[in-house]
């Protein structure tokens, strides 16, 4: 495949026919002047060394060199290289819920936007892994087949919106089933299905789908996003979604279902809140998966071909210089110098063209600036990275690369670039701007301590920056408010713990009192039974005693009678 990187220079080829017309007119005028001197045949005999063919050949050589020079300025590129690389990593398919309930703003900025930020940060941490993207609501479809092209993944991610699926609902089972059929056939590699949802109004069958995925060797991780208390669904016009009776619809996280789903899928359940804890837990869980060598198809850029064109131009110019206008070269050896500085000028032009064809870091920065102004932050990032590769100590390239990354919400990478730019920058104003941008991103992520230090460093370099000073004061207030909220939360947790301990003690005391009462009742009951047993024993013994006494009396009377007789 052949293409031109800067095809706008090809319009200069229109100069070629104009030069041909100019030369033709000049030849006609020259013939007319020769006729004034006399017969053309006689004049030709008076100039035996003049050649009619050589000037034409020299002209066409110069014209061809000029045409090739213009082609070289257009930067011809030929061929695409598709290489198959071996990488060690895992395969991950993300199933993202895009139902209307994901528009709720109980997490900042919204459930859907928060999910996008997590996926983008996850992609930024990937190096040798593959990723796929599935969106679902009442139905599910593949948004991005599994790939190693992270740039495409971010492009598809930015276009996700609830309007992509008209059927509302939360059919998690369909998404998991579709994900199990979207992995590669390679065995032994860790495969993860990450379901990002609020779990509300699910269609059923999700547990069976998660168990089936686990049986196939795929771990199902669930990111529950939202609060269990619920939140209204904004409609984008300042109002909230209402039901048929006119009541505002409240949507909450189905925490229990998400936990059950993660247990059935053999993965982990992670609750997403307004902090980075969920991201860290997810990265830790994915690191536990088995990694294996993965075959990836990598697309490389076009190869520059201006060097070959430059060699042709140089060859044509050398030939043009060697061809003299006279027929006898032995008598006109210095004719090269008589013709003036034209060859030298052409050679200098050639060198300038070769220099222009090989883009410098400054040219790449300017190219990235044009792309950034047009809103193509991803393309601008590529240009800035090329500039940094050519000159790593180019502070402007590093700073602009940070801006391109920040525009794409690659905040962690942007902070790294701004720090590098600040170290390389010698201009205090531009260094202050780098620290200001670092502070803004840290403040957005509620990292108030880091933001305050960045703002202070910016003011040290530019004390007159009122915007940085305002952000610094605002950040201090936000940090104070965060600490107060944290203290209140800690105090509330402590009070809850004390109350819980007190309740446990009261409950234990009540249990002891109840056991004592039960023991007393049991003792009383046993005493009564013992008394009855003793009474019965005494009565039985008394009865036996009376019987013995009666028998004794009867025996005494019998002996007395016998004696009297």
- Which residues sit opposite 220 in a β-bridge? 193, 266
In b/e form, how buried is each residue of 16-45, taking b as 16+ CB within 10 angstroms?
eeeeeeeeeeeeeeeeeeeeeeeeeeeeee
Give the pLDDT of residue 469.
85
User: What average pLDDT does the structure give for the chain?
Assistant: 79
The residue to which tokens 């030939």 are assigned = 319
Question: Is residue 86 very low, low, confident or very high in pLDDT (cuts 50, 70, 90)?
Answer: low
C-alpha to C-alpha distance for 65 and 61, rounded to whole angstroms: 6
Residue 221 has pLDDT above 80, yes or no: yes
Question: Is residue 531 very low, low, confident or very high in pLDDT (cuts 50, 70, 90)?
Answer: low
Residue 555 has pLDDT above 90, yes or no: no
Residue 159 has pLDDT above 50, yes or no: yes
Lowest mean pLDDT among 134-143, 420-429, 551-560: 551-560
C-alpha to C-alpha distance for 94 and 346, rounded to whole angstroms: 59
Question: Is residue 553 very low, low, confident or very high in pLDDT (cuts 50, 70, 90)?
Answer: low
Of residues 35 and 390, more confidence is placed in 390
Dihedral angle, C-alpha 175, 177, 179, 183, nearest 10 °: -170
Give the pLDDT of residue 302.
56
Residue 202 has pLDDT above 80, yes or no: no
Residue 349 has pLDDT above 60, yes or no: no
Give the pLDDT of residue 18.
92
The residue to which tokens 């402590």 are assigned = 494
The answer to whether the peptide bond before residue 48 is cis (omega within 30 degrees of 0) is no
Residue 134 has pLDDT above 90, yes or no: yes
Among 363, 373, 375, 435, residue whose Cα is nearest residue 399 = 435
Structure tokens at 160: 């996700």
The SS3 of residue 33 is helix
Give the pLDDT of residue 165.
81
**Helix or strand holding residue 450 (H, E):** helix 448-461
C-alpha to C-alpha distance for 357 and 290, rounded to whole angstroms: 46
Residue 338 has pLDDT above 50, yes or no: no
Residue 346 has pLDDT above 80, yes or no: no
Q: Please give the backbone phi and psi of residue 479, each rounded to the nearest 5 degrees, phi first.
A: -65, -40
C-alpha to C-alpha distance for 140 and 174, rounded to whole angstroms: 6
8 A C-beta contact, residue 463 and residue 428: no
The residue to which tokens 């940094």 are assigned = 388
The residues, any chain, with a CB within 8 Å of residue 230's CB and separated by 6 or more, are: 106, 250, 251, 252
Give the pLDDT of residue 356.
46
Structure tokens at 340: 């003036």
C-alpha to C-alpha distance for 375 and 549, rounded to whole angstroms: 126
Of residues 489 and 461, more confidence is placed in 461
Mean pLDDT of 155-178: 84
Give the pLDDT of residue 300.
46
Percent of the chain with pLDDT over 70: 80
Question: Is residue 194 very low, low, confident or very high in pLDDT (cuts 50, 70, 90)?
Answer: very high
C-alpha to C-alpha distance for 356 and 74, rounded to whole angstroms: 10
8 A C-beta contact, residue 364 and residue 387: yes
Mean pLDDT of 469-473: 86
| Most confident of the ranges 36-40, 292-296, 442-446, 547-551 | 442-446
The SS3 of residue 97 is strand
C-alpha to C-alpha distance for 91 and 186, rounded to whole angstroms: 10
* DSSP secondary structure, 275-297, as one string: SSHHHHHHHHHHHTS--EEEEEE
- How far from 498 is each of 55, 484, 504, 505, 562, CA to CA, in Å? 106, 21, 10, 10, 96
Give the pLDDT of residue 340.
44
Residue 493 has pLDDT above 90, yes or no: no
pLDDT in tens, 408-458: 888 888 888 899 889 888 888 888 989 999 998 888 888 888 889 999 999
- How far from 302 is each of 2, 78, 168, 191, 288, CA to CA, in Å? 9, 6, 44, 33, 38
Residue 95 has pLDDT above 90, yes or no: yes
Q: Are strands 292-299 and 231-232 parallel, antiparallel or unpaired?
A: unpaired
pLDDT in tens, 301-310: 556 777 888 8
Mean pLDDT of 351-376: 72
Question: Is residue 355 very low, low, confident or very high in pLDDT (cuts 50, 70, 90)?
Answer: very low
In b/e form, how buried is each residue of 476-494, taking b as 16+ CB within 10 angstroms?
eeebeeeeeeeeeeeeeee
In b/e form, how buried is each residue of 326-358, taking b as 16+ CB within 10 angstroms?
eeeeeeeeeeeeeeeeebeebbeebeebbebbe
- Helix, strand, coil content of the chain in percent (nearest 5): 60, 15, 25
Question: Is residue 132 very low, low, confident or very high in pLDDT (cuts 50, 70, 90)?
Answer: very high
8 A C-beta contact, residue 400 and residue 361: no
- How far from 304 is each of 1, 75, 310, 362, CA to CA, in Å? 12, 7, 12, 19
Give the pLDDT of residue 108.
81
Structure tokens at 212: 């089936």
Among 483, 502, 432, residue whose Cα is nearest residue 461 = 432
Q: Which long-range contacts (CB under 8 A, 24 or more apart) does 434-440 make?
A: 434/399, 434/402, 435/461, 436/465, 436/467, 436/468, 436/471, 437/402, 437/403, 437/406, 439/468, 439/471, 439/472, 439/475, 440/471
């Amino acid at each position: 495949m052949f293409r031109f990187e800067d095809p706008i220079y090809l319009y200069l080829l229109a100069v070629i026919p104009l030069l041909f017309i100019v030369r033709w007119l000049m030849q006609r005028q020259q013939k007319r002047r020769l006729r004034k001197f006399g017969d053309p045949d006689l004049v030709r005999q008076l100039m035996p060394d003049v050649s009619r063919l050589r000037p034409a050949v020299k002209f066409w050589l110069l014209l061809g060199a000029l045409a090739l020079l213009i082609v070289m300025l257009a930067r011809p590129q030929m061929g695409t290289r598709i290489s198959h690389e071996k990488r060690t990593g895992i395969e991950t398919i993300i199933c993202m819920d895009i139902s209307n309930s994901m528009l709720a703003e109980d997490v900042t900025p919204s459930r859907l936007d928060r999910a996008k930020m997590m996926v983008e940060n996850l992609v930024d941490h990937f190096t040798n892994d593959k990723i796929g993207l599935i969106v679902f609501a009442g139905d599910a479809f593949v948004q991005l087949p599994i790939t190693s092209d992270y740039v495409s993944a971010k492009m598809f991610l930015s276009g996700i919106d609830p309007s992509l699926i008209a059927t509302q609902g939360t059919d998690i089972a369909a998404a998991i089933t579709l994900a199990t059929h979207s992995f590669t056939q390679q065995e032994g590699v860790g495969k993860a299905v990450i379901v990002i949802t609020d779990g509300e109004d699910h269609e059923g069958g999700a547990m069976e789908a998660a168990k089936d995925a686990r049986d196939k060797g795929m771990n199902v991780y669930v990111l529950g996003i939202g609060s269990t208390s619920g939140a209204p669904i904004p409609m984008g016009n300042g109002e909230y979604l209402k039901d048929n009776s006119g009541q505002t619809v409240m949507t909450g996280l189905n925490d229990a279902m998400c936990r059950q789903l993660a247990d059935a899928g053999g993965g982990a359940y992670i609750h997403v809140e307004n902090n980075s804890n969920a991201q860290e837990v997810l990265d830790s869980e994915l690191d536990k998966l088995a990694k294996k060598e993965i075959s990836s198809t990598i697309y490389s850029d076009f190869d520059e071909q201006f060097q070959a064109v430059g060699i042709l131009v140089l060859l044509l110019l050398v030939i043009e210089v060697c061809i003299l206008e006279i027929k006898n070269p032995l008598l006109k050896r210095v004719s090269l110098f008589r013709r003036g500085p034209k060859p030298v000028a052409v050679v200098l032009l050639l060198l300038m063209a070769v220099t222009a064809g090989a883009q410098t870091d400054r040219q790449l920065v300017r190219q990235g600036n044009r792309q950034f102004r047009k809103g193509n932050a991803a393309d601008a990032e590529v240009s800035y990275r090329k500039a940094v590769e050519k000159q790593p100590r180019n502070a402007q390239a590093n700073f602009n690369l940070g801006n391109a990354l920040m525009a794409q919400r690659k905040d962690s990478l942007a902070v790294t670039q701004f720090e590098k730019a600040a170290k390389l920058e010698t201009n205090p104003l531009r260094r202050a701007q780098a620290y200001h941008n670092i502070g803004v991103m840290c403040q957005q992520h509620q990292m108030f301590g880091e933001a305050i230090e960045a703002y202070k460093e910016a003011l040290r370099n530019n004390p007159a920056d009122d915007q940085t000073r305002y952000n610094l004061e605002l950040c201090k207030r936000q940090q104070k408010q965060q600490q107060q909220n944290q203290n209140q939360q800690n105090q509330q947790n402590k009070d809850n713990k004390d109350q819980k301990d007190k309740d446990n003690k009261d409950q234990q005391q009540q249990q002891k009192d109840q056991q004592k009462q039960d023991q007393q009742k049991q003792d009383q009951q046993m005493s009564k039974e013992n008394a009855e047993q003793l009474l019965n024993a005494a009565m039985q013994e008394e009865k036996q005693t009376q019987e013995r006494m009666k028998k004794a009396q009867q025996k005494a009377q019998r002996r007395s009678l016998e004696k009297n007789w």
